[in-house]
Structure 1
């Protein structure tokens, strides 16, 4: 097989890149190790930044998002029983976010790719990326019981942290920055309308809690739990009782309960691999960086990466200039590190560390008081949450 861009991974990054290249008249082939049903149903992120929403609309992938997604103009911070709303449009000049699950983004992009785009091969497992230092890189992969080779001009690794693309970057050229947190998120899906019309981030002495949603009838909620917790060790009523404790307010706000349909534990870590480019290999999304979910940045960072790559390749084709390709890693990493900073700040401000001292507890509360008491600090949070520029 031969194409211009070989894309490993059919998550939102790989699928969106294929769509952007198709719209620009550039050929691509997408290889995905899992089957279509798995890709369309794995639960992941659900918050789209303003820039991500704009990109999906411009790519022709925003129709169902605009019809079924939930625009949110703010979040609520909750601590010491008090409630404070952060008004995104009022603080940022009009930006907002969209609640629209990653599963739905993938469904939309898969449908478009299969209808209009280039080859999208499910159950095609990439084995190795070769020759990235030359002008004809190759992806060795298995498909339908046989091994094959995809020859291309460029390879974009959108295959996540455990994928093979990053292994093609020589170890002596790689630098890794990471932090593992001593807690995770116990997340549930529940068949009950959300108890609030916007996301609620609660800091409590017993630990963090987040109220989110997937639709007007399905709630998504999270509890901070110790690292390594087994989700099944928590009973349904035990989960609801703990959520009620952590969301409790002075004004008597009530949490709606309903049947829990799924529960899982998400580990918390920060990770960055530098560089994000080696030769004709470009890393995007979780293959290059991971953020704790507190800042709602993972999917949005992946979108920024592939938008940067697509623009660079179009520039090369139209002008002959490789400048944007050559600066791909530096351009992406500027945005990545700002998102890492924001996610770290949100995580450490809202989660109680297992060995936290009274001094550290007071500092957390002081940081929250600063946000709710200073328009400058509140604006910084709103700017970070709604998204850093894609250019």
Structure 2
């Protein structure tokens, strides 16, 4: 039996052909507008146009264990099936061509795309997303190993190690702001390892506002953090380190008490003054022993926000830890999470990774909303597998065949 002869083709593949399955989360027109606004659109037709490279960078997180060429094959699998029916064959570009295309794209397109797409989505009907009418948000940070290249080491740096030794990999620090009730990452920043989480976390306050309750762990506690959060008119609920002391100004009926947080020396020189806080102290008994907690909050009304309610709510802050686990374990799942040998491509890759997570979580949110359940009840890994299959399958289907998945 003779195999059918195939003719080689060089189609122009746009994001509108590729990302139909997730365009409700990452709209095609937003990708195109972002490329246009960042002046990276090619003057001539290329085998890997910018819109396809954007999709490829996002898809790197969806198929994290595959080579770049395999990721590209997976990404256009549905289109390839259609070409095969017509006796056509698209030769996948080699790794050098893919690297060059990523370098042409740069990192600004991906960062701006994330800024335009990532938004809180929970409604009043989303279970656990609000407390007393306030949208519950959480901030935290993590570090990622990046390939041990000279360029990455120079920009991101190594963690401290014993004298005469060096850490195995440079590390990049990533700080994220999430909507606790949906696990959607709505803002993120990255920086070299040597820059602490507090500095970057404070910059994420650009994305909080009145009507939100921001939670943070004791490592992010500072007078500056409290002051900056209040300046946005956002409320807060944060844990305090054991070495920070508060005077008891007035004990309230629920066992919490009013006190003051005093400015640090740097803030005092700028004219900062003490800020009223409410302190909640409690102990949790577990099989491993007793664990003491001390929280401060801007919510002073014990009738609307009793101490027990806030203490219970604070432990939803762990949703940000679960989100980080989704990112580092379930979405990436690589021994060295980041592939790129150059810092600019590292930044590009991380924003693609954040967009991939946002797409998965957004689709989980919309599915849960239709079912009337919490999006946190759905399995992240299972949804990821569905999306991997759907990307190729949706490329075979015409828009009029998708009444339940239209962007509107």
Please state which band the TM-score falls in when normalised by the shorter chain: under 0.3
Say which structure is richer in strand. Answer: 1
**TM-score, normalization: structure 1?**
0.23
**TM-score, normalization: structure 2?**
0.22
